Amino acid sequence: MKLTGKVAAITGSAMGIGAASARLLAEQGAQVAIGDFDLGAGEQTAAGIRAAGGQARCFELDVRRADQVSAFIEQTVAAFGGLDILVNNAGVVVAKSTTDTSPEEWERVIGTNLTGAWLCARAAIPFLIRRGGGAIVNVASNAGLVGFPNLAAYCASKGGLVQLTKAMALDCAPQHIRVNAICPGHTRTPMGDSFIAAQADPAAFVRDFINVQHPLGRMAEAEEVAQAILFLACDDSSCVTGSILAADGGYTAR
């Protein structure tokens, strides 16, 4: 197993990519802290990991709140004895144009997707240093690499997260902390499914956007994205930092 003896904190991990990552990292030997504002779903994910023989705990977390972020990291360390891996996965999307996005919606998206990742990293880094180093994986998006219509706040937040990843990698390299980002494309998750459902013609969106404009001809599964997160979290990527890995079915290769 690739993560035996490691402790991983994963934000937004009650469902979707975060839950798939929690299950996979636990299968690879990590003790996993699930952080999410949906405690019910988070507890279900943790219980499933424990039922499969892994170790997991769930803690309440709104990544926009510095006090809850600090508590989440401290609870993780108290529960498992340290911290080696942080996966910044918590994210929200508002499907609106620049002018249609309200200030409140803008603040919620930027606060969750960008500021939240910074707050979590800021709280986690001292504990990673205590372990002699570690890994931070930021879950960005292909919307952080190219623009999309009617996703102004989301594109801004994920583009900022890509650049934050590079800056953090430079800041943290002397402490042997690797910082990388993964940029998924459209992925089969509850958030991804709700985005499709909100389209004027969901069937046409899948046919014309997902199946045609993604060279692999399909959306990703959460478990596939989790495999890429595992790679960046474990020693298989021991010489990789400041890297932005697109896992988007080839969308940004065009």
Q: Round to whole Å and give the CA distance between 248 and 225.
A: 9
Q: Round to whole Å and give the CA distance between 107 and 110.
A: 5
Any catalytic annotation for residue 251? no
DSSP assignments along 82-102, one per residue: ---EEEE---------TTTS-
- Chain segment 126-136, per-residue pLDDT in tens: 999 999 999 99
Task: Report which listed range, 44-53, 180-189, 200-209, is most confident.
Answer: 44-53
Residue appearing with tokens 């399909």: 218
Which residue, 160, 179, 161, 162, is CA-closest to 170? 179
The CA-CA-CA angle for residues 234, 238, 177, to 5°, reads: 85
What's the Rg (C-alpha) of the chain? 17
The CA-CA-CA angle for residues 160, 166, 171, to 5°, reads: 120
pLDDT of residue 195: 81
Q: What is the mean pLDDT of residues 183-197?
A: 87
Choose, from 80, 118, 154, 251, the residue flagged as catalytic. 154
Per-domain boundaries in the chain: 7-245
Return the percentage of the chain with pLDDT > 90, whole number.
88
pTM: 0.96
Return the percentage of the chain with pLDDT > 70, whole number.
100
Q: Into which CATH architecture does domain 7-245 fall?
A: 3-Layer(aba) Sandwich (3.40)
Joined together, the tokens standing for residue 129 give: 């240093």
pLDDT at 245 over 90: yes
pLDDT of residue 211: 84
